[in-house]
Structure 1
Amino acid sequence: MKVGVIRFPGSNCDRDVYHALKLAGGEPEYVWWKENDLLHMDAVVIPGGFSYGDYLRAGAIAAITPVIEGIKKLVAEEKPVLGICNGAQILSEVGLVPGVFTVNENPKFNCQWTQLKVKTNRTPFTRSFKKDQLIKMPVAHAEGRYYNPDLDLLQDQDQIVLKFQGENPNGSLEGITGVCDESGLVCAVMPHPERASESILGSSDGLNFFKGMINY
């Protein structure tokens, strides 16, 4: 499975995602922000980092680059798209997932391991988990607090992917830290599965995100 790993100026998790995709059995390929034809890809991952230095707000400048049109065409072809951390902010910014990821309740950069509950396994990325399964992955962000005024709709349409279990480190609405579009094929998560892809890192739970996508 050929998976595009999108690169922006300021991306810093692209190589980690590439490595995790290789571990999961995929064929990752770096894609620069100038490219707008991604239809030869089977899926895309937008990794974390600080695209364009988070100037204006996280994801705002990346959202108007040519590669976004390529990603939208891929979504129209019903191919999986995963946004991690800054990638989640970008997907929110361009309207491919509902709600926003905004400044943390305690407005500073937060980096820590978190316990998470998988709220749906209908996405390609969570299909390897059981519903309500507890997993462990780290977060690392300053603008990760999720908000959506249409919480009831989000719940009714089974679009909540991950919730913090126990501590809510950024003040997200209802502890939500991962959402998907109505199809489940576009998924935005603030925790970093690539940083939890090998047991030596502290958890290998995140590897299932990439295995699930590849086996989809």
Structure 2
Amino acid sequence: MNFKRKIQEIVGSTYRHALFYNFPGGLRFALSKGGSSLDLALSALRKVTVVCDDIFVGEEHILVHLETFAPTSRFGLRAMLRELKVAGVEVPRVRDVWLDAGEQMDGSHEESDSILCCAFDVPTAKLQNLIWCAITTDLGALRPRPGCRVYLLNPNKGIVVHPYDDRGMDVISRNSPTLSGLYKRHNDLLLDYDREAMCKTFASS
């Protein structure tokens, strides 16, 4: 199965961080606001789960897309895979792995400027495990923490979900009616800073 092609078909092009701004017409949700690292993670986990339960209702599988800066040695990759395994997410043998050109980085990092991508299917029962991996990106005190970007996709609805850290989550799709339904059902969770832009897109739909 060509997971990479399925991913590109959903939005029509390669995507990267800040989906809400790079793909106009999407949704941006607010997650945690304050407290300890655990408080932030649990608050974000609850809110992301509410929205994602709606997005993936009736689906048996989630298409997962992971991104990380390509390690210059195998040890960095092993550490990420170990953290994923501890989180209950094992990368299956049926998967796609590829390199994309990445952001420019200086020589002080242990990674290259290439982006290592991996895509595979997991049962929807692993949804909260994956959400945890996504929202703990910048919460270094908490484990497990794979430290990679986690995108959750529903190919049947044409939706890409990106909880970019404990603070927020972007949802994009070329299926505007589907996003409109999410806008109405989860309006209380939308990020106020970008609410005006979302209202222009969905308030009259």
In the superposition, the TM-score normalised over structure 2's length comes to: 0.27
Which structure is higher in helix share?
2
TM-score (norm 1): 0.26
Larger radius of gyration: 2
